[in-house]
Chain A
Amino acid sequence: MTEAAKNAGARELEFAILRHNPADPDSVPREQVFTLHEAAGMTLFIALNELRQHQDASLQFDFVCRAGICGSCGMLINGRPGLACRTLTADLPRRIQLAPLPGFELIGDLSVNTGKWMRGMSERLETWVHDQALEQLDIDALEQPMEPEQAEAIYELERCIECGCCVGACGSAMMHEDFVGAVGLNQIARFRLDPRDKREDADYYALVGDESGVFGCMTLLGCEDVCPKDLPLATQIAFLRRRMTAAVIARG
């Protein structure tokens, strides 16, 4: 019998949740403790909904897909970033501490505005296909075929759901608010792979070749270890670091 199966249904769980509503001037950040009977196969998504439905309707948290695809439910689970919908309570100790993901604007309780941050990052790093010829593109014409391996490689990095866990797990991002995080660097690596994007390394260097980009990464590897999609972030960042350094050396 696995540890998870043994625990299921047997425990009275204690949820210590950081509560704060920045929209309310009288709100002071505080920890509120809830207790809940554990059910078999219970995820934090299920637990939080139970708490909101039966114990405190004012509890704020985000969910959309409950399947690890939308990236809305990133939060600090016992101090480490993770997706609530993908976390089984059976894998956690009886007392579970929940806090909002750091590095993002707090909406209330466990809900943070990752969308605003991601949009800012995306606009700053221009994470879209750049091609001068794109304006004259005939959308009725057949697209250039792509090698399956190449499509696979791009898709591998495209799996990022922008949940923000890598930012919340990043010591560099905690110290430097303008750091683009593994999510941003992964996106640059993704467009660099894409043959439809005509940008060159010098263009990418202009976007991530400084302390807010790849040279601000201190290789603490928190991103790699918490990524719920298991993206090869350390490999991608190292690859960018090598390419960006080579671009400077080549330029002389």
Chain B
Amino acid sequence: MPGTMSSAWSARGELAQGLSGLLLVLFVWAHMFFESSILLGKEAMYWVTGLFEGKHIFGQPYPWLVSFIAVIILLLVVMHAALAMNKFPAGFRQQRALYRHTGRMRHTDTSLWVVQAVSGFLLFFLIPVHLYTMIVEPANIGPYASADRVWSGRYWVLYALLLLTVHVHAAAGIYRLLMKWAPPRRGALINRARARRIALGAACFFILLGAASLIAYMKIGADHADRAGERYHPATAQAPLALKE
């Protein structure tokens, strides 16, 4: 029955879906900058790893902090997915109706929604694999540990698929979020077409950045394959000791 408290969940659901989506997009975009620290060298990536393990604050690394973040992200993903599922076409009749509608309309934002739904569906399977690794092996992040996982552990396949899917989904999502809650007024500087182009630009930028980092990890992993499992020992960690002596 409309108007009862039960339907108040429609509004809460819409809000929670949007907010969780926004947080996840911001997270994944920040994530790209952190992981691409490898492009600045092993030292830089080692430092970022330490940052997330709390090493620069507590003096020693606590990898479970990474697990903790990964669990929070997983919970957000589960919530976002559960709410977004309500929007998926249910059953063959609705799927066919949407398929035919999209085909005849040849309308960018309608087609983009289908892309968003399909990429979202794929993420159901891709994200949990990545997050599970981060939750159970939080200590195995580092210039060599990550590179070995990517190359010797053959995770590059997962990461390549994840990279493409997540950025298409994130950019489409952030654009739709804007259209949903605060579409630009007629004649605004950032009009709809521009907003869409900015989102496309963001997707391209993060995919390129991610691809470059992935290739960097693959290279390091390949060079390190015969010593896979060996951890990285930074020069900076040894330098202060050398100075003391």
The answer to whether B8 has its CB under 8 Å from any CB of chain A is: yes
The answer to whether B180 has its CB under 8 Å from any CB of chain A is: yes
**Cα–Cα, bound, A214→B54 (Å):** 44
The answer to whether B182 has its CB under 8 Å from any CB of chain A is: yes
**Cα–Cα, bound, A80→B89 (Å):** 21
B179 with A210: CB separation less than 8 A: no
A221 with B11: CB separation less than 8 A: no
A171 with B101: CB separation less than 8 A: yes
A251 with B8: CB separation less than 8 A: yes
| Contact for A171 among B86, B98, B106, B176, CB less than 8 A | B98
A211 with B10: CB separation less than 8 A: yes
A222 with B110: CB separation less than 8 A: yes
**Cα–Cα, bound, A79→B105 (Å):** 5
The answer to whether A153 has its CB under 8 Å from any CB of chain B is: no
In A161-217, which residues have CB < 8 Å from any B CB? 169, 171, 174-176, 202, 205-207, 209-213, 215
**Cα–Cα, bound, A251→B185 (Å):** 29
For the residues of A in contact with B, the DSSP-based class is: helix
The stretch that binds A, out of B12-20, B30-38, B39-47, B161-169, is B12-20
Interface residue count for A (Cβ, 8 Å)? 37
The answer to whether B109 has its CB under 8 Å from any CB of chain A is: yes
| Known A80-B107, A209-B3, A209-B7; contact A219-B180, beta-carbon cutoff 8 A | yes
Among A102, A175, A213, A249, residue most surrounded by chain B Cβ atoms (within 10 Å):
A175
Residue of B nearest to A247 (CB): B11
Residue of B nearest to A211 (CB): B10
A245 with B102: CB separation less than 8 A: no
The answer to whether B113 has its CB under 8 Å from any CB of chain A is: yes
Residue of A nearest to B97 (CB): A174
Please give, as numbers and ranges, the residues of chain B lying within 8 Å of A210 by CB-CB distance: 2, 7, 10
The answer to whether B244 has its CB under 8 Å from any CB of chain A is: no
B183 with A234: CB separation less than 8 A: yes
In B154-192, which residues have CB < 8 Å from any A CB? 176, 179-183, 185-186, 192
| Known A174-B101, A206-B2; contact A220-B106, beta-carbon cutoff 8 A | no
Please give, as numbers and ranges, the residues of chain A lying within 8 Å of B86 by CB-CB distance: 211
In B78-129, which residues have CB < 8 Å from any A CB? 86-87, 89, 94, 97-98, 100-107, 109-110, 113
A248 with B11: CB separation less than 8 A: yes
The answer to whether A241 has its CB under 8 Å from any CB of chain B is: yes
Interface residues on B, range: 35 or more
Please give, as numbers and ranges, the residues of chain A lying within 8 Å of B179 by CB-CB distance: 219, 221, 234, 238
**Cα–Cα, bound, A232→B107 (Å):** 18
B107 with A245: CB separation less than 8 A: no
B180 with A175: CB separation less than 8 A: no
Please give, as numbers and ranges, the residues of chain A lying within 8 Å of B13 by CB-CB distance: 215
| Contact for A76 among B104, B110, B176, CB less than 8 A | B104
**Cα–Cα, bound, A9→B106 (Å):** 28
Interface string of A136-155 (1 = CB under 8 A from B): 00000000000000000000
The answer to whether A244 has its CB under 8 Å from any CB of chain B is: yes
The answer to whether A127 has its CB under 8 Å from any CB of chain B is: no
A169 with B98: CB separation less than 8 A: no
Please give, as numbers and ranges, the residues of chain A lying within 8 Å of B101 by CB-CB distance: 102, 171, 174
The answer to whether A218 has its CB under 8 Å from any CB of chain B is: yes
Please give, as numbers and ranges, the residues of chain A lying within 8 Å of B102 by CB-CB distance: 171
The answer to whether A31 has its CB under 8 Å from any CB of chain B is: no
Residue of A nearest to B91 (CB): A175
Please give, as numbers and ranges, the residues of chain B lying within 8 Å of A76 by CB-CB distance: 104
Residue of A nearest to B102 (CB): A171
How near does chain A come to B96, taking the closest CB pair, in angstroms? 10
**Cα–Cα, bound, A176→B192 (Å):** 26
Pairs A–B under 8 Å by Cβ, sample size 5: A174-B101, A205-B11, A221-B192, A238-B179, A241-B14
List the interface of chain A (C-beta within 8 A of B): 76, 79-80, 102, 169, 171, 174-176, 202, 205-207, 209-213, 215, 218-222, 225, 232, 234-235, 238, 241-242, 244-245, 247-249, 251
Given contacts A174-B100, A212-B2, A241-B180, 17 further A-B pairs with CB under 8 A are A80-B104, A80-B106, A171-B101, A174-B101, A175-B97, A207-B2, A207-B3, A209-B7, A215-B14, A218-B87, A219-B109, A221-B192, A225-B109, A235-B185, A238-B180, A241-B181, A245-B15
Complex A-B, nearest 10 residue pairs according to Cβ-Cβ distance, in ascending order? A206-B3, A79-B104, A248-B11, A215-B10, A175-B94, A221-B109, A234-B183, A174-B101, A174-B97, A220-B110
